[in-house]
């Protein structure tokens, strides 16, 4: 039996066991904002919008009702989607605002977005970017593989003031990266993680997996009030060998000011 | 006789035999949805559309007739084209819906699309992506070349719940790939196929050949309800050496929710 | 005298002889469709157009006159430009139709296009691609350099049914290709040509040279009814070493259904 | 203790100390144009705009009030944002004017831009580029590392006439650059800086750091009246080995004529 | 004193001498079309425009006045800008016409373009490309470095009929090129120039330097009536080793028919 055949036999044997059970009843789970941001198997959707000139041909009186209209749609879907908003105007020419959604089913976020697009703001906004990813457990920095690093990651938590800004940075890995052994990838991810530890206190972060779901391998999300620290963190991430295998880092990087949905809609409705 | 001349003599001898007979009477074959999805020499067309703001200036009453109007066009062409629909809104910024067509003649799908573009939805939608490919028999994983792998592929079938989501992923191979020997390509395609076997139970797939017909070499199409499994399948496909020869993988990956034509038109007509 | 100086002396000596005589009286030559497609020093222009939504705001009655209006413009310029048309709608998202023009002077085709753009269809269509090239004699596969291959090319002719589809594929060569010796290029062009011979019976082809005239080195044009054969022909072209020096192959590949000018205009005017 | 663990211990120890203090009270600092251009921890935002055809459908009488309206917005925010303007029309097809903003908080510039977009000019202009960066102390050419070069930089100052033109050039470094040792980078930055010294007298320059904040690593800004000198300076910057690690140099380079806000608005309101 | 320091001392010594004198009184020099095309320190601006559908909603009577209106603007600025025009319609999908401007100050061309954009044609045209460069003396092929080649260049002049077509081809060099020694660059420029000598009789050419001023290193401009010769010239330029260092060659190549400003405006106003 040659190598391919042996692997084949082994994998088919293992593989056919109940892999289709992960999403069971996902569409019936109620969304709790306090929990969904820390769970795995959660879908994160990031959508940026550019307000079209037609929006400002609506009377100011009507535009002033837009926030309530959008809030009503958010509320209608709050059992199945947790929605957050950011003002990107001036930071990015391609968009004016960003919606971040978390759901147990992408279709739930899609249903929210379909209703949002029927609001007066949605009707007059153009979607300019859509990203989707799923949360999973840590891949490399696990208890078994890298216990010290995991401890360091867990023992430090964000302690700065409430973050003012958020950043969305899609990351793509080269085929060469994906063809590395698990050991090689672990070593590089340790090198990648170590210089980021000092920033745990002032930069929050969250990771989504997107390979095959979208045209990116990962979506990384950050919140901070300390933009110089954030710049230094990114320089640190550029200065490790793992960076040599990133074929995309941003492009776009989306920067937004963290605001309530109401505040974002009011800011762009002026 | 030098090498070039010998090959020349051989190929011309073989080549001139009746290659032009494949499409005989294709334009007279009736489309049977139950059969056309499993046949070779079938053309698959994927077209995404972005609904334009002008659509929503049509009265709600008129928009509510759009589904019936589109269904009538689908029915008119049902002898020559099998049409399916997907909601992409919110997953992709470039489109709101996807039409998938199968026909024995591309011109038949073109005739359908020409009529579709004259509906009120079609008039107010912009085509944002068009892909075309043809189904063929298995290239590498044949009975002769790779019997065990073929058996594995055939002995396992999709057994999960009805799939909710579909993905279209165009794939391009580098000139280096195409210049490899058949044996080298077979070995890499075996390496590529083995890790995908565990996902036969929960991810459906279909392949189209496009080299020369379109700006991609292959169109791969997937259906699944288990997006974590689908993400893992794609990671497995990235982690084999064949991936080193892919110059395009998606870009775009189109993700849609599987729906009837009527449901898609109603969702975007709200 | 160093190498540069010697080459300089030789080239200047040769070079100053009457190179400017090729286009003599080109603007006075009458176009004969039966001849112009097989002559050298002929300019081929390919222009794709996307019909704009404004076209369909014109009444159906007025749109039904569009074909006659376009035909009149084609006729007006028929002494200096030979015009052909193709329906691309549904095959390419960027365009609805393709115009192919042949003329002894590019300015003659420009004059036709200027008049076309003043028709009701032209006014409401957006040019989305324009390619220009010139026909020349065979470069590599000549009687002197490759007599057997030339014989093979000449002894086989298209014998299938009238072709239904046309493809336009721009090709770019890398600087490494252009820096190869004539002998190296000849060897690779022979390797390139041999596997294409079996398809002479069912795929027509035509070549234009564009280096410096346009952002491509070559325009290749094909007609066929056998799309599986055409896909196989393109795979054969990808599988020879010459492909390693192609920096562009399509991008876009334009696929259209071969129709009369009248039929194309009527199809998009429905 | 392996290398990774040692570095980990060291960095965590250092890293957790008060990095979050840099931005303290930034939102309460008053902007002084005379000072803010020479301070560190200042955010520079560059936004280009293309005036839309709709602007010229406003009556000339109303357009003549645009400058005063924009000036009022600039004044309203002058405590928190310093705004400068440039005419780019004719130099860049993507834009007609450029706004340059300096603030201690990006949100302050965002608030200004939100108000600007509500002016008649802002309503009828499309943002076409947005860049953000932060000023920091010199990285490589410090007193300790490169005292002679620092002296040369400090001993020469701009002595030509008031500059007429400004240029914004985003710069990206490759992962290979970021993975170099500090010593290697210093050597290359010295090589980079030396040939630029002669141009200190006639080209003003300013540097912003953007890694992670935006899709560029650096924003470089120049002012000059001597465009031939500026062209020579850029050729000098292309001719050092550090250039081999630049993956982006401009793209776009934005060129504008230095004007007052009023003059820019009046020029494009004609 | 290490190498860097020595170079530093030398360059600073030389560099601080009066480099800022080149543009003296440039804004006061009167433009003479007969002279400005052959002088150094002259700015060349190339702007392409796409006529918008709105232009053809203006009555034919009003459109017929457009040529006189544009001519008046050209005349108004004729002391400071020399303007030429080309019809690109049909050759390039991105534009309908090209304006070429020469001035001693870019701001003078900007002032002309600002007035042009206020004409009825300018209002209804969209700028789609803008290139700027400056003329300088010959860099490599000087009397000292390459006397024979310079003689060859100077002893041959254009002797064909008045050229009908013009081409604008931006050229970018790789960092590897710029890092070559002067001797290496000279050798390659000689190799580049020699095969172009035979075309001096039927292809006119002009070179602009753009590094830092624009996103290209050079703008090359050609005029010819012999497009086959021009195609051969470009093939010759592709077939020398210097081509291996070109990272951009065209993209776009702009092709236009040489016409008077009046004729261009009338052609697109039909």
- In this prediction, residue D68 carries a pLDDT of 98
- Spatial separation of the C-alpha atoms in residues B216 and C246, rounded to whole Å: 15
pLDDT tens-digit map of D69-99: 999 999 999 999 999 999 999 999 999 999 9
Mutate to test the interface with D, among A91, A157, A263 (most CBs of D within 10 A): A91
Residue showing tokens 């409705």: A269
Give the SS3 label for residue A93: coil
- In this prediction, residue A11 carries a pLDDT of 43
**CB-based contacts of E230-234 (< 8 A; 24+ apart in sequence):** E230/C212, E230/C213, E230/E165, E230/E167, E230/E199, E230/E203, E231/C134, E231/C209, E231/C210, E231/C211, E231/C212, E231/C213, E232/E199, E233/C212, E233/E196, E233/E199, E233/E203, E234/C211, E234/C212, E234/C213
Q: What is the DSSP letter of D179?
A: T
Confidence of residue C146 (pLDDT cuts 50, 70, 90): confident
- Spatial separation of the C-alpha atoms in residues D205 and D199, rounded to whole Å: 10
Confidence of residue A5 (pLDDT cuts 50, 70, 90): low
pLDDT tens-digit map of C56-112: 999 999 999 999 999 999 999 999 999 999 999 999 999 999 999 999 999 999 999
State how far residue C132 is from chain E, nearest Cα, in angstroms.
7
- In this prediction, residue C16 carries a pLDDT of 34
Q: What residues of D are in contact with residue E136 (Cβ under 8 Å)?
A: 228, 231
Average pLDDT value over all residues in chain A: 91
- In this prediction, residue E179 carries a pLDDT of 98
Q: With 80 as the cut, is the pLDDT of residue C11 above it?
A: no
- In this prediction, residue B6 carries a pLDDT of 54
Confidence of residue A144 (pLDDT cuts 50, 70, 90): confident
- Spatial separation of the C-alpha atoms in residues B116 and B110, rounded to whole Å: 10
- Spatial separation of the C-alpha atoms in residues D229 and E16, rounded to whole Å: 12
Give the SS3 label for residue C208: strand
- Spatial separation of the C-alpha atoms in residues D256 and D87, rounded to whole Å: 5
Mutate to test the interface with B, among C227, C229, C241, C259 (most CBs of B within 10 A): C227
| Contact: D229, E20; criterion CB under 8 Å | yes
For residue A138, is it left (φ>0), alpha (ψ between -120 and 50) or beta?
A: beta
Where is pLDDT greater, at B22 or D212? D212
pLDDT tens-digit map of A24-35: 456 678 999 999
Nearest residue to C98 (alpha-carbon basis) of C66, C75, C130: C130
- In this prediction, residue D28 carries a pLDDT of 72
Q: With 90 as the cut, is the pLDDT of residue A152 above it?
A: no
Contact between C197 and C158 under an 8 Å Cβ cutoff? The reply is: no
b/e for B27-41, b at 16 or more Cβ within 10 A? eebebeeeebeeeee
Residue showing tokens 């020409």: B114
Which of C19, C45, C128 lies closest to E229 in CB terms? C19
- Spatial separation of the C-alpha atoms in residues D84 and D100, rounded to whole Å: 5
- C164 CA to centre of own chain: 17
Q: How far is CA E99 from CA E30, E50, E56, in A?
A: 20, 12, 20
For residue B159, is it left (φ>0), alpha (ψ between -120 and 50) or beta?
A: alpha
Residue E262 token pair: 């009046």
- Spatial separation of the C-alpha atoms in residues C219 and C254, rounded to whole Å: 11
Which of B107, B123, B215 lies closest to C253 in CB terms? B215
Give the SS3 label for residue B218: strand
Where is pLDDT greater, at B141 or A255? A255
- In this prediction, residue D145 carries a pLDDT of 85
- Spatial separation of the C-alpha atoms in residues B224 and B234, rounded to whole Å: 13
Q: With 80 as the cut, is the pLDDT of residue D18 above it?
A: no
Polymer length of chain A: 270
Average pLDDT value over all residues in chain D: 91
| Contact: D178, A91; criterion CB under 8 Å | no
Confidence of residue A1 (pLDDT cuts 50, 70, 90): very low
* Catalytic entry in D6, D123, D205, D248: D205
Task: Show which of residues 23-42 on chain E sit within 8 Å of chain C, judged by CB atoms.
Answer: none
Q: Is the peptide bond before B252 cis (omega within 30 degrees of 0)?
A: yes
For residue E67, is it left (φ>0), alpha (ψ between -120 and 50) or beta?
A: alpha
pLDDT tens-digit map of E68-127: 999 999 999 999 999 999 999 999 999 999 999 999 999 999 999 999 999 999 999 999
| Contact: B134, C231; criterion CB under 8 Å | yes
pLDDT tens-digit map of A188-212: 999 999 999 999 999 999 999 999 9
Contact between C94 and C128 under an 8 Å Cβ cutoff? The reply is: yes
Q: Is the Cβ of B270 closer than 8 Å to some Cβ of chain A?
A: yes
| Contact: D194, E8; criterion CB under 8 Å | yes
pLDDT tens-digit map of D34-76: 999 999 999 999 999 999 999 999 999 999 999 999 999 999 9
Helix/strand number for chain A, H first, E second: 11, 9
Q: What is the mean pLDDT of residues A233-249?
A: 97
Q: Is the Cβ of D211 closer than 8 Å to some Cβ of chain A?
A: yes
- In this prediction, residue C5 carries a pLDDT of 54
What tens-digit pLDDT sequence spans chain B (270 residues)? 455 555 444 444 333 333 333 444 566 789 999 999 999 999 999 999 999 999 999 999 999 999 999 999 999 999 999 999 999 999 999 999 999 999 999 999 999 999 999 999 999 999 999 999 999 988 777 888 888 888 888 888 999 999 999 999 999 999 999 999 999 999 999 999 999 999 999 999 999 999 999 999 999 999 999 999 999 999 999 999 999 999 999 999 999 999 999 999 999 999
- Spatial separation of the C-alpha atoms in residues B191 and D116, rounded to whole Å: 58
Give the SS3 label for residue D173: strand
- Angle between the N-to-C axes of helices A66-76 and A261-269, in degrees from 0 to 180, rounded to the nearest 10: 150
b/e for C77-94, b at 16 or more Cβ within 10 A? beebbbbbbbbbbbbbbb
Which of A90, A91, A229 lies closest to D20 in CB terms? A229
Task: Show which of residues 79-118 on chain E sit within 8 Å of chain C, judged by CB atoms.
Answer: 87, 89-93
Nearest residue to C255 (alpha-carbon basis) of B132, B250, B172: B132
| Contact: D250, E215; criterion CB under 8 Å | yes
Confidence of residue A233 (pLDDT cuts 50, 70, 90): very high
Of C128-137, D180-189, E135-144, which range is least confident? E135-144
Residue E103 token pair: 């001035």
Residue A61 token pair: 């009186």
Exposure of B165 in the CB half-sphere (CA atoms within 13 A): 28
pLDDT tens-digit map of E209-227: 999 999 999 999 999 999 9
Nearest residue to E175 (alpha-carbon basis) of E119, E239, E126, E247: E247
Contact between D254 and D170 under an 8 Å Cβ cutoff? The reply is: no
Closest residue, chain A, to D175 (C-alpha): A244
- Spatial separation of the C-alpha atoms in residues B182 and B144, rounded to whole Å: 13
pLDDT tens-digit map of D133-144: 999 988 777 888
- Angle between the N-to-C axes of helices A106-116 and A66-76, in degrees from 0 to 180, rounded to the nearest 10: 160
- In this prediction, residue E81 carries a pLDDT of 98
Residue showing tokens 């929710």: B257
- Spatial separation of the C-alpha atoms in residues D182 and E193, rounded to whole Å: 42
Rounded to two decimals, the ipTM of the complex is 0.91
Residue D122 token pair: 């802002």
Of A104-113, D18-27, E169-178, which range is least confident? D18-27
Burial group, residue A247, by CB count within 10 angstroms (0-12, 13-18, 19+): middle
- Spatial separation of the C-alpha atoms in residues B186 and B195, rounded to whole Å: 15
Contact between A217 and A54 under an 8 Å Cβ cutoff? The reply is: no
Nearest 5°: phi and psi at B147?
-60, -40
Q: With 50 as the cut, is the pLDDT of residue C15 above it?
A: no
Domains, chain E, with CATH or none: 32-134+262-269 (3.30.70.1030), 147-256 (3.30.70.3420)
Helix/strand number for chain D, H first, E second: 11, 9
- Angle between the N-to-C axes of helices B3-15 and C147-155, in degrees from 0 to 180, rounded to the nearest 10: 10
Q: How far is CA A124 from CA A269, B90, D123, in A?
A: 11, 15, 14
The residues of B annotated as belonging to the active site are: 205
Q: With 70 as the cut, is the pLDDT of residue D189 above it?
A: yes
Nearest residue to E45 (alpha-carbon basis) of E112, E106, E119: E106
Give the SS3 label for residue D111: helix
Other Cβ atoms less than 10 A from the Cβ of E154: the count is 10
Q: Is the peptide bond before C252 cis (omega within 30 degrees of 0)?
A: yes
The set of residues, in sequence order, having a beta carbon less than 8 Å from that of D55 and lying 6+ positions away, is D63, D120, D121, D124, D125, D269
- Spatial separation of the C-alpha atoms in residues E249 and B248, rounded to whole Å: 24
Q: What is the mean pLDDT of residues E239-248?
A: 97
Residue E69 token pair: 């209106």
Nearest 5°: phi and psi at A258?
-70, 125
- In this prediction, residue E26 carries a pLDDT of 65
Burial group, residue D22, by CB count within 10 angstroms (0-12, 13-18, 19+): middle
- In this prediction, residue B43 carries a pLDDT of 98
Q: Is the peptide bond before C154 cis (omega within 30 degrees of 0)?
A: no
Other Cβ atoms less than 10 A from the Cβ of A182: the count is 11
């Amino acid at each position: 039996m040659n190598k391919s055949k042996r692997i084949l036999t082994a994998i088919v044997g293992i593989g056919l066991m109940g892999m289709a059970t992960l999403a069971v009843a996902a569409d019936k789970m109620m969304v709790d904002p306090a929990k969904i941001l820390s769970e795995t198997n959660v879908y994160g959707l990031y959508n940026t919008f550019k307000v079209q000139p037609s929006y400002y041909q609506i009377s100011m009186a009507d535009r002033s009702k837009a926030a309530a209209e959008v809030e009503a749609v958010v509320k209608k879907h709050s059992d199945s989607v947790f929605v957050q908003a950011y003002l990107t105007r001036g930071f990015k020419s391609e968009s004016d605002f960003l919606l971040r959604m978390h759901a147990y089913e992408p279709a739930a976020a899609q249903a929210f977005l379909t209703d949002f697009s029927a609001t007066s703001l949605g009707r007059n906004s153009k979607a300019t970017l859509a990203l989707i990813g799923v949360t999973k457990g840590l891949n490399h920095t696990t208890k078994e593989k890298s216990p010290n690093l995991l401890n360091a990651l867990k023992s430090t938590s964000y302690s700065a003031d409430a973050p003012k800004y958020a950043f969305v940075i899609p990351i793509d890995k080269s085929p060469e990266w994906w063809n590395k052994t698990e050991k090689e990838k672990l070593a590089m991810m340790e090198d990648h993680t170590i210089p980021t530890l000092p920033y745990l206190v002032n930069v929050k972060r969250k990771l989504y997996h997107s390979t095959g779901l979208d045209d990116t391998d990962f979506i990384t999300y950050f919140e901070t009030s300390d933009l110089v620290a954030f710049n230094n963190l990114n320089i640190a991430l550029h200065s490790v060998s793992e960076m040599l295998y990133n074929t995309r880092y941003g492009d776009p990087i989306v920067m937004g000011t963290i605001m309530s949905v109401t505040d974002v809609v009011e800011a762009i409705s002026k």
